[in-house]
Chains A and B, each alone.
Chain A
Amino acid sequence: MELLENKTGKKLLLGNEAITRGALEAGVDVATTYPGTPSSEIADAFSMIARDATSKNKDPGFYFEYSTNEKVALEVAAAASLCGLRSLTCMKHVGLNVASDAFMTYLYIGCKGGHIIVSADDPGCHSSQNEQDNRYFAIFAGAPMLEPATPQEAKEMTRVGFDISEELSSPILLRTTTRLNHIRGPVEINKFKEPKRKGYFEKNPMLVTTPAVARVRHSELLNMLKKAEVLSEKSPFNFILNIGKPEHWGIVTSGVSFNYVKEIVEDLGLNVRILKLGMTYPLPRAMCENFIKSCKNIVVVEELEPILEDQFKAIAFDIGSNVKIFGKSTGHFSRLYEYNLDIVADAFSKIFNVKNPFNKPADSKIKLPSRPPVLCPGCPHRATYFAAKKAKPKDVVYPTDIGCYTLGRYKPLEMADLLLCMGSNAGMACGLAVATDQKIISFMGDSTFFHAAIPAIIDAAHHNHDLVITILDNRTTAMTGHQPHPGTDFDGMGRKAKRILVEDVVKGCGIDHVEVVDPNKIKETTEAFKRALEFKGPAVIVSKSPCILLENRNKTKRGEDIFIYEIDQEKCKKCKICISQFGCPSFYYGKDGAIYIDAQQCNGCGNCASICPFGAISPKEAMK
């Protein structure tokens, strides 16, 4: 694997892999995460390297863990940094909300060994519940911030970021977006730096943030930001690029927006100077002032919130400049979604009064069927959903959570009614139990349970809320790429780990009615849901069955057969339960109107055979 090669040269790396590479080249000692798209591959790369080393009885050169949640991940790495080790913590943007309690005060006490905190933002909500702009977190907490535009820059900013972090004794926020995390580009790689491996914790009363310490620390934080501004002025990540023969027009941009700006400016043949900001907090104020003075008009191009735009207006005001600033406030750019070449070209054509180089996009009149993501054929979640619905088909509210099971929202299941964030199913189930007499069955995955739902389950037990909470225990963090979690018997380093049983934790939380079911036994699972609904008070169902993708992979490894299923057309009475109620995507209507199973898609779970009232479905042949 190219990421592992301790040598120099040019490689095609994913933005996320480039971040991991940069950390290895900086001699990172401790890396922590909770997986979340679009950040996951940063940590997965660490895990792959560590597992490979573990399997060979070698030391990977660093410690890595998939932590229980982002807050724990940040705390683990912060402590390592305070022992003098270089640390990295990565998470998706909403993960920083979870870690924010630690993050806000961490900036007060600062770090010792360099610490990079990666926030992977998701403009356009490709795989997220919101598109919050985490650059505000840098300003909010007072964290110096770097924003890469390309995988090459991501690697360099990570590598150099550790030095900046140590110089300032402050953790650094490396703020990325989906189109950085998930683009591949050429990266110049260098050799790895030897890590320290062990540090030493030197006691210091200023690390205990009592009010008296906090007041002193806040003032020190502001002083650190002044030093950071000096670094920002000198940083090679902030630079001016002159295109054509610039006179009065300037463009200010950061992150991936720079890529679109540069290309469109070149295509349109504009004469502009571009201020490309890579260290965007604190801004290099003198550099920005001089840039403003050199322009009569400035266009600010940044995805999501007008953070640079507002700061440039404030600086222009302070220096008494009459510069005209174009951006979101003039209506040329949106605060919504991610940008691309078309959006930038459209805005520039209006601002610079030139012809948009792109034609109106072709559009076909043929209506295409939609292709939403679905629960995989054989997914045990589908069986749990089906069984729960059978227990009480109507007047049930289904709070859901973050994971594959959110896909239960779609037809024919339609069993996802309410979702905020990780763990919210259980907390909102409690509120619903207070506020309505409707029945409540909530759903979450096992990784989500450990991550954020335990306090809400204790709330349900303590207040005796009348509800049913379901934990879909498929023994993996499936949606983000099958990472281990506290319920698996191995960890991110590939070492044996203590498996924490969901049902034991739930009982420890004070829940008296706990049932463990195998969802593939659909009738029994339905009975368990009925008992849980009848129980007055909080009931928890732990539905245990491994993710079918992992299960089949393991079966193949063990040399076991996977049997795919077929429908006996003579026995089929076309009651459609399999297709219109169970909704396995491997079922389809043939041209003759009969129902068939697509052998290419069937994963052989066999649940369709158990729900068919006419015994028309049975295993056909071993395959795959």
Chain B
Amino acid sequence: MNKKTNIVLTGVGGQGVITAANILGKAAVKAGLNVYVSEIHGMAQRGGTVDCTVRIGAVSGALVANGTADVILSTEPIETLRYIKYSNKNTKIITDITPVIPFTVSAGIEEYPELDKIFEELKNYGSLYKIDAVKIAKESGSILTKNTVMLGALAGIDVLPFKPEILLETILENIPDKYKEMNKKAFEGGLKATRKH
């Protein structure tokens, strides 16, 4: 079987999941690789749950099959578990630890599970990397660099078929000059966070 890299990105509508997937796609093109990215628009954007997929290498479509994700990169803990069908025992699961409470919970209709229970559960499905993206982003200069932290964390686990520098370069190309320095820091912060695991 030819080499394929399957990445699933999940989170909440408005968190920048689609943008992150797009940046990964652009980085792969920059690295001269074949890539497909899937997104969902429309209804899914209004604060709903979002999953995007990025497939790099010998692939002919954008959708990831169940149990074949090399990485699940999630910006919200329960949205990590919601898409656990993509995992296998070798999947690397990177999740931001900060919950975004759905309205169904804040209105008292449903319950948000204990965070620790979620993290314990996630360990059953692959290697878990918990990232405090808010903290790293703030240390880097702005909470707005959260997604750059997450992409840095992805670059730190050696799954991408190209060098972290290419991903960082692609991120920086897509933001205004005055934010470049803090995003560079954020990327390196994320990268260190998974490297030291």
Measured CB to CB, the residues of A under 8 A from B are: 10-12, 14, 37-38, 40-41, 126-127, 150, 178-179, 182-186, 256, 258-260, 262-263, 266-267, 340-342, 345, 358-364, 366-376, 404, 407, 411-412, 479-481, 579-580, 583, 585, 587-589, 598
- Mark contacts of B92-123 with chain A using CB atoms, 8 A cut-off: 1 yes-contact digit, 0 otherwise: 00000000011111111111110001100100
Closest partner residue, chain A, to B67 (CB atom): A359
Which of B22, B43, B61, B103 meets A259, CB within 8 Å? B61
| B-side contacts of A258, CB under 8 Å | 60
Minimum C-beta distance from B124 to chain A (A): 8
- Mark contacts of B112-140 with chain A using CB atoms, 8 A cut-off: 1 yes-contact digit, 0 otherwise: 11000110010001000000000000000
- Chain B, range 136-155, C-beta contacts under 8 Å to A: none
Chain-A contact segment, one of B78-86, B160-168, B177-185, B187-195:
B78-86
| A-side contacts of B84, CB under 8 Å | 362-364
Which of B2, B13, B61, B113 meets A373, CB within 8 Å? B13
| A-side contacts of B175, CB under 8 Å | none
- Mark contacts of B29-67 with chain A using CB atoms, 8 A cut-off: 1 yes-contact digit, 0 otherwise: 100001111111111111111000000000111111111
Question: A585 to B47, Cβ gap below 8 A?
Answer: yes
Closest partner residue, chain A, to B23 (CB atom): A12
Question: A371 to B41, Cβ gap below 8 A?
Answer: no
Please, how many angstroms separate the alpha-carbon atoms of A341 and B61 in the complex? Answer: 9
Which of B2, B12, B81, B108 meets A371, CB within 8 Å? B12
Which of A182, A186, A266, A411 meets B39, CB within 8 Å? A182
Minimum C-beta distance from B136 to chain A (A): 18
Minimum C-beta distance from B49 to chain A (A): 5
Question: B46 to A38, Cβ gap below 8 A?
Answer: no
Minimum C-beta distance from B118 to chain A (A): 7
Please, how many angstroms separate the alpha-carbon atoms of A267 and B65 in the complex? Answer: 12
Question: B106 to A182, Cβ gap below 8 A?
Answer: no
- Excluding A260-B63, A373-B13, 12 further A-B contacts by CB distance (< 8 Å) are A10-B29, A12-B29, A40-B42, A179-B61, A182-B39, A183-B37, A185-B62, A263-B59, A371-B79, A585-B103, A588-B106, A598-B106
- The yes or no answer to B88 lying at the interface (CB within 8 A) is yes
Question: B62 to A369, Cβ gap below 8 A?
Answer: no
| A-side contacts of B79, CB under 8 Å | 371
Please, how many angstroms separate the alpha-carbon atoms of A4 and B11 in the complex? Answer: 31
| B-side contacts of A372, CB under 8 Å | 48, 103-104
| B-side contacts of A375, CB under 8 Å | 46
Question: A184 to B82, Cβ gap below 8 A?
Answer: no
Which of B42, B62, B78, B86 meets A479, CB within 8 Å? B42
What 9 A-B pairs come out closest when comparing CB atoms? A259-B61, A37-B42, A127-B42, A588-B106, A361-B85, A373-B46, A361-B66, A341-B65, A373-B48
